[in-house]
Structure 1
Amino acid sequence: MNFSTSSPGGRGRVLVPVLCWAALLSDGYDLFVYGATLPALIGHAPWFITAGAAGTVGSAALVGVLIGSLTAGTLTDILGRRRLFLACLTLFSTATLVTAIAPTFEIFAATRLVAGLGIGGLMPTAIAMAAEFASPAYRSRILGMVLTGPAFGGVLASTASLLLLEEFGFRPVYAFGAVPLITLLPLAFAFLPESRAFAVERSSEGRASKSPVAKLFGDGMGRATVGIWFVAICSMLTMFGVTTWLPQIMRNAGYPIGSAVTFLLVYSAGAIVGTLLASVLAERFGPKPLVLTGFSTAAVSLALLGTHPPTAVLMLLVALAGFGGLGTQNMLNDHIATFYPARFRATGLGWALGIGRAGAIAGPTYGAFFVAGGGAVIVSSLAFAVPALIGGVVMATLPRRPRATSADADNRVEAATPRSTEISR
């Protein structure tokens, strides 16, 4: 079946971002659902999971995400975006369904690891496809909308837990995460086209002979690639550390805020609104200044949490931290997607997100040194402000674009690709 990105309607330019947003929403749901269901899992009969065991499962899932990002991010530039998109969507949705009916804790833990593989693989693939099919004039805005998917998924996971957890337990919440198997997967199979860049790359034997990972260090991009990886580690350490320990920081401060779900909702809302506003500004100024703004916002808002502000100000700071955390990561993804040429963009995204997961894995443990045991709030909040500040400083030293080489030429060729190009499945 052939799909045309030309008129009528520029089908690829409309359908691909919508499908990618829906996939990332599902991805975000699966990523956030574990934390949202922890209150019902810890002590659950007959498993009687301890907090330590629950933390181990959470870390194992993030290890799966790391492996998925590194593996799928590379394979999608070798086997094609469409195949990896469908495979990763199927993998994590199926694993989530098995999680819902897991008869033992060991099977439950194993399915979370498998789900992590699919979650990690889908994001670089979906971002790469959305970036390629978006109109160059509105690429940052479209990517910004697509990248709100994980935050909306977090809101949905929190809401489902709020409605179902207390009365029905954790199983229905996970079962809801398998809905993409009967909704999104058939739509993506029927309507998702293959990447133009992949088709061109596959027809070029000279380029195809070179490893996609090696290309990240070619044409003088090695320093920028390593810098991007370091920035991603700082971003994810801040984001995952804060989302893990923010409720405990507030309890140490004595604030009578409701449940942890409320914080997650406010944090996610801040990320959604901030990402949408930042993506519009990125079209004028480029994504790099917005990454710097996000890191600065995170550092300041987190530092101010230790000043014991009134509740209304506290909620505003949490929302700003959401933009500075998840919103900054979204803008960083935008920067990466525009920095690397289309022919190995998914590899660049996959490796940045994969290496960055080291920060995600370290974040909760890093926070434990400062938060656990009732540590001073000002110390805890400043501890999370520091990696955000470091990430911003390193980001400031990186180039906005690759130097004028073949990578830059590839980006210009991609932007000039005629809309009438036929895409073959």
Structure 2
Amino acid sequence: MNSNAPKRSLLGIFVLCWLGLLADGYDLYVYGATLPGLIGTPPFNVTPAAAGAVGSLALVGMLLGSLIVGTLTDRLGRRRIFVSALALFSLAMLACAVAPTWELFAVFRFIACFGVGGLLPTAVAITNEFAPPGKKSLVLGAVLTGPATGTVVASLTSLALLESSGFRPVYAIGAGGLLLVPFAWFLLPESPSFLRTQLRNAEADRIEAAYGLPRTPEAPASSVRISPTRALFANGTARTTALLWAITVLSLLTIFGVSTWLPQIMRTAGYGVVGTVLASVASQKFGPRPLVIVGFVSAAVALLLMSVNPPAAIMTVLAAVAGFGGLGTQNMINDYIAQFYPAATRATGLGWALAVGRIGAIAGPTYGALLVGFGGGVPAAAMAFAAPALVGAVLMLALRSKTTKQAHVARDAELVS
């Protein structure tokens, strides 16, 4: 443990990550919020089918962003990728605001979502590494309220501007992330664990001393090392990696499915912020695993009760519980993944899990559509989405509660840059 008192505040790092994720959440949700100003209105006069195709294309962009950028983070460094992803989706949002044709708008939207998908694993990796050892879940939970806050800001901005000014200023505001780029470039430190994989140990020592961090182990130059991606399946981690991928698929299937077919949940999106904070406090004491299980089960129970069409007041409460069980649970899954993988593969592990999980996000609306199309209606969709939530709880129960520190140290020593 580094015994020196920290010379620099950690708060600036966490605020930058939170603001980056707020911009990330804004830019992700703004498309759905501005659809009323795109479908059937000038200048594009978009059809619902074309709008849906671009929405699906955006999810593919997020899948690729999580996969490619998350992996590059562990190869090229956290700071460089954080700044690049932030600049990429902010510039793409500005391009969406001035796009002269629908085809160009679709291209810029795909690029924006590629950057959006890449920022989350990088921000989580940075936050987890710099958070104090006894407060990692608490700090990460607070930072992960950024996307949900961005969702609320996008909704309010769209309500205020869309009808009077059209979609363009709403997207232009989404380019505000560019204001963070110089601050992130000059103020965000590089990951000490990444620097050690580059054998830049003196730099890592200086950063750890400056921020009062525990000293990370050095990666011996003579060791036999493997890539971060291969490391996800090395040293007995293959089973857990596969389970985490399946759990993330089920979580995102539930989130995107219920947000499409049960709009009451979207109206209670603000509860996701509160739920994430409360869950992170509990997670700091009990660990993220039991919170994920509780979240899945609470979402399943709430959805089952919603399927019987209770009175409006009860429906609102159930929607809030289901919303927490969706967004809050995914944030706790992110917390679990960040704590499971060692620092040198953390962004890769989270990036791959979120990339595979996007398959669930893409399938969720279609899964609900099939059930509604068969005449079951919204109650049947609510019951159907309770099923993947329950399966997710069962799979989470199959995971061990933590990975030993010794295993992390052993794997850190095996990784390439």
Q: Please report how far the alpha carbon of residue 184 of structure 1 lies from its aligned counterpart in structure 2 after TM superposition.
A: 1.2
How far apart are residue 5 of structure 1 and its match? 12
Partner of 2:172: 175
Aligned to 2:238: 222
CA distance in 2, matches of 1:200, 1:391: 36
How has the CA–CA distance of structure 1 residues 281 and 368 changed in structure 2, closer, same or farther, with 3 Å as cutoff? same
Aligned to 2:132: 135
Which of residues 254, 260, 271 is equivalent to 1:238?
Answer: 254
Contact 1:158 1:264 in 2 (8 A): no
Task: Decide which moves more: 285-294 or 299-308.
Answer: 299-308
Matched, 1:157 2:154: yes
| Paired residue secondary structure (1:194) | coil
Q: 1:24 to 1:136 in 2, by over 3 A?
A: same
For 1:10 and 1:379, the matched residues in 2 are separated by: 54
Q: Which residue of 1 aligns with 2:196?
A: 200
Residues 92 and 112, structure 2, Cα contact 8 Å, conserved in 1: yes
Task: Provide, for residues 44-78 of structure 1, a one-character-per-residue CA deviation record: whole Å limited to 9, x for no partner.
Answer: 22422111111110111110100011111111111
Kept in 2: contact 1:154–1:265 (CA 8 A)? no
1:130-173 superposed Cα distances (whole Å, 9 cap, x missing partner): 00000011110000000111000100010001111111111111
Pick from 250, 266, 269 the counterpart of residue 264 of structure 1. 266
Residue segments in structure 1 that go unaligned for 5+ positions in a row: 251-262, 412-425
8 Å Cα contact 2:261/2:381 also seen in 1? no
Question: Out of 88, 108, 112, which is 1:111 matched to?
Answer: 108
Check the 8 A contact 1:339/1:400 in 2, yes or no.
no
2:33 is aligned with 1:31: no
Mark the CA change 1:206 to 1:340 in structure 2 (over 3 Å): closer, same or farther.
Answer: farther
Q: Secondary structure in 2 aligned to 1:85?
A: helix
Q: Is residue 158–residue 265 contact of structure 1 (8 Å, CA) maintained in 2?
A: no
Residue of structure 2 equivalent to 1:419:
none
Structure 2 residue aligned with 1:102: 99
The verdict on how the C-alpha distance between 1:218 and 1:38 changes in structure 2, with shifts beyond 3 A counting, is: same
Aligned to 2:79: 82
Aligned residues: 391
Q: Which string of whole-angstrom CA distances, capped at 9 and with x for unpartnered residues, describes residues 222-258 of structure 1?
A: 00000000000000000011112213xx6xxxxxxxx
Letter in 2 for 1:201: T
Aligned-partner residue type, residue 337 of structure 2: I
Structure 1: distance between partners of 2:17 and 2:224:
26
The aligned runs of 1:18-417 (5 Å cut-off) are 18-181=15-178, 183-203=179-199, 204=219, 205=221, 209-247=225-263, 263-266=265-268, 268-372=269-373, 375-402=376-403, 405-407=406-408
1:232 counterpart letter in structure 2: T
Rounded Cα–Cα distance in structure 2 between residues aligned with 1:208 and 1:163: 57
Q: 2:13 aligns to what?
A: 16
**CA apart distance, 1:280:** 0.5
Change (3 A) 1:117 1:207: farther
Residues 88 and 119 of structure 1 are in contact (CA less than 8 Å); yes or no, is this contact kept in structure 2? yes
- Distance in 1, Cα, partners of 2:142 & 2:229: 28
Residue type at the aligned position of 1:79: L
Partner of 2:209: none
Q: Which whole-Å CA distance do the structure 1 matches of 2:52 and 2:7 have between them?
A: 48
Do the aligned partners of residues 6 and 298 (structure 1) sit closer, same or farther apart at CA in structure 2, a change above 3 Å counting? Answer: farther
How far 1:123 sits from its partner (Å)? 0.4
Q: Counterpart amino acid of 1:199?
A: L
Q: Which residue of 2 aligns with 1:420?
A: none
Q: Tell me how far apart the structure 2 counterparts of residues 23 and 271 of structure 1 sit (CA, whole Å).
A: 18
Structural RMSD (CA): 1.9
* In 2: Cα distance, 1:297 partner to 1:10 partner: 41
| 1:365 Cα deviation after fit | 1.1
CA distance in 1, matches of 2:174, 2:405: 44
User: Secondary structure of the residue that 1:220 maps to in structure 2?
Assistant: coil
Counterpart contact for 1:402–1:408, Cα < 8 Å: no
**2:291–2:332: 8 Å Cα contact kept in structure 1?**
yes
CA contact (8 A) 1:270 1:321 kept: no
Q: Secondary structure at the match of 2:161?
A: helix
1:144–1:276 Cα contact (<8 Å) kept: yes
Task: State the Cα distance separating 1:352 from its structure 2 match.
Answer: 0.6
Q: Which amino acid aligns with 2:248?
A: A
Shift of 1:179: 0.8
In the alignment, structure 2 segments of 5+ residues that lack a partner are: 200-218, 413-417
CA offset at residue 208 of structure 1? 8.6
2:238 & 2:140 partners in 1: Cα distance?
Answer: 25
Q: Give 1:380 deviation, angstroms.
A: 1.2
* Residue pair 2:231, 2:411 contacting (<8 A) in 1 also: no
Say if 2:262 and 2:378, in contact at 8 Å, map to a contact too: no
The 1:280/1:9 distance shift into structure 2, 3 A limit, reads farther
CA distance in 2, matches of 1:24, 1:187: 15
Deviation per CA, 1:68-110: give whole Å up to 9, x if none.
1111111111110001000000000000010011100000000
Name the structure 1 match of 2:205. none
Question: Within 2, Cα distance between the matches of 1:44 and 1:216?
Answer: 47
Give the conservation status (yes or no) of the 8 Å contact 2:86–2:181: yes
Counterpart secondary structure, 2:307: helix
Q: For 2:329 and 2:91, how far apart are their aligned partners in 1?
A: 30
Question: TM-score, structure 2 length as denominator?
Answer: 0.90
- Residue 404 to residue 312, structure 1, CA distance change in 2 (3 Å): same
